[in-house]
Structures are given as structure tokens and as C-alpha cells.
Amino acid sequence: MNERQNKPKKLTKSRTDRKVDGVIGGVAEYFGWDSTLLRVLYIILLFPSFGSALLLYIILDMVMPNPPREASRPSEPNDATQNSGKSNDDNWSDF
């Protein structure tokens, strides 16, 4: 068995499947559900709940931790930045 199978699954915000802050994406990843379906269900339940679903989202947003960062590699220079002659400060494509 590898390390990943021995670790218990943790409820964390999603780093990749996020529309607002990754709360619904994280819940969907934890339970293995489709995040789009869960978002639609949340919107449907938001109106008849008179704001309690929004309060639950805000509480989960404050309580749920962000996932741990992956082991990062040293970044390699971007070919587009090197070829254009612009510095990294002039490259606004990251935003």
C-alpha cells in the first residue's frame, strides 16, 4: 500500500474546482459527487432556506482549511516572457 491509501480523507476547500472559495468543490471532492450538481442543488435550497444556507456556506468557508500545497518545483522561465523581451512585472497574464 502507498501513503495516500493510509491517510484518512480530509474535508478541505478545493484548490482546482472553485467558483467562489472552493467550499462546494471541496465538499463534492470529499463525497465523490459532481460539483456542478451540488452547486445547482445549493442554489435551489438557498431560496427556501431564508438565508440559512448562505450562513452555512459562510461558516464552512471560515472553518474548512485550504488543502496543503503540493511540493513545488523551481519554476522555469516562461518562453513567451523570454521571447517578448518583457520583464515579469509587465506580464499581467497571471491575473
pLDDT by residue for the chain (95 residues), tens digit each?
555 566 778 878 888 877 888 888 888 888 889 989 999 999 999 889 888 988 988 998 898 888 877 755 555 555 554 555 555 555 555 55
Please report where in the chains the cell 474546482 appears, as a residue.
Answer: 17
- Residue 90 burial (CB < 10 Å; 0-12/13-18/19+)? exposed
Per-residue pLDDT of 72-84, as tens digits, reads: 555 555 555 455 5
Extract the C-alpha cell encoding 11: 474535508
Cα separations (Å) of 82 from 86, 87, 90, 91? 7, 8, 12, 11
Residue 11: predicted pLDDT: 79
Task: Write down the pTM of the prediction.
Answer: 0.59
DSSP 6-63: HSPP-----SSS-SSSSHHHHHHHHHT--HHHHHHHHHHHHTTTTTHHHHHHHHHHHH
